[in-house]
Amino acid sequence: MDTLKDMAAHSGFLREYEKLRHVIMALVRLRLDLHRQEGRVVTVFLVGHSLGGAVSYFLAMDLASARRVDPSRPGSHVPLLERKPKVYTFGSPRPGNAAFRSVYNMLVPDTYRIVAGRDLVPAVPPSWGYRQLGREVWFDNTGTATFVMSWAMRHILPPRDDVNCHFMQEYYSRMGKAFRKDERYNEEFLSAFRTRAVVRDALRE
């Protein structure tokens, strides 16, 4: 229980989530109710870049801990989701302290935090008060992915000091290269934004 008492989140990131929380949770609950009526079990995927990544963490934690009334047993509650949410973030900042990370990683174990090269945003706010969440996947400029499993490995990688690596087109470029290197895929790397010139050019690099 001490871990819960010690939890602290970045006030700015949390405030951004709180602006959206009511609307998002209402929409998610509505969609889940519709799927339940159809007999489907849903997996929720959350994706965000930069501040959107930090907001995704708060929503994931909310969804993973939320309860709903059990219609088969009046007065009792069951988890809102039958499956834990899956989270993919790109260049996300550190959202909370060590206690926050411990609780989050227990509630949302399928979290993948993607970092492009020397992107500086994943290194802020400072590590003395804040921690990153989930499992880091680091992409170099050739599209090669490294799963960062330890503190020691993290410090072998290049420093996080380049804002130019933070732009979403940089992430598109590196993931496009990774996609093309995988022999299982022969088709183009698809994106809902592929018609935009900046994304189309990034995917062709």
Q: What is the pLDDT of residue 186?
A: 56
Better pLDDT: 149 or 89: 89
* Residue 26 scores a pLDDT above 90: yes
What pLDDT digit, counting tens, does each position of 94-131 carry? 999 999 999 999 999 999 999 999 999 999 999 889 99
151, 182: one domain: no
Give the phi and the psi of residue 125 in degrees, each rounded to 5.
-60, 175
63, 98: one domain: yes
113, 177: one domain: no
Structural domain total, the chain: 2
Residue 135 makes CB contacts below 8 A (sequence gap 6+) with 111, 112, 113, 147, 148, 149
Question: Could you give the CA distance from residue 44 to residue 59 in angstroms, rounded to a whole number?
Answer: 11
142, 93: one domain: yes
Domain extent at residue 107: 2-161
Question: Could you give the CA distance from residue 84 to residue 69 in angstroms, rounded to a whole number?
Answer: 18
Q: 160 and 123 in contact (C-beta within 8 Å)?
A: yes
Mean pLDDT for 176-202 is 67
* Residue 193 scores a pLDDT above 90: no
Mean pLDDT for 173-192 is 72
144, 186: one domain: no
68, 128: one domain: yes
| Angle (deg, nearest 10), helices 51-65 and 98-107 | 60
| Whether the bond into 109 is cis, omega within 30 of 0 | no
pLDDT band (50, 70, 90) for residue 69: confident
What rounded mean pLDDT belongs to the chain? 89
153, 181: one domain: no
Q: What is the pLDDT of residue 96?
A: 97
CATH of the domain at 14: 3.40.50.1820
* Residue 179 scores a pLDDT above 90: no
134, 43: one domain: yes
pTM of the model: 0.88
Q: What is the pLDDT of residue 144?
A: 92
pLDDT band (50, 70, 90) for residue 204: low
Mean pLDDT for 19-34 is 95
- Which range is least confidently modeled, 27-36, 109-118, 127-136, 170-179? 170-179
114, 27: one domain: yes
For the sheet with 145-148, list strands across it. Answer: 45-49, 86-90, 111-116, 135-139, 145-148
Q: What share of the chain is helix, strand, coil (3-state, %, to 5)?
A: 45, 20, 40
155, 172: one domain: no
37, 123: one domain: yes
* Residue 164 scores a pLDDT above 70: yes
Mean pLDDT for 152-176 is 88
144, 110: one domain: yes
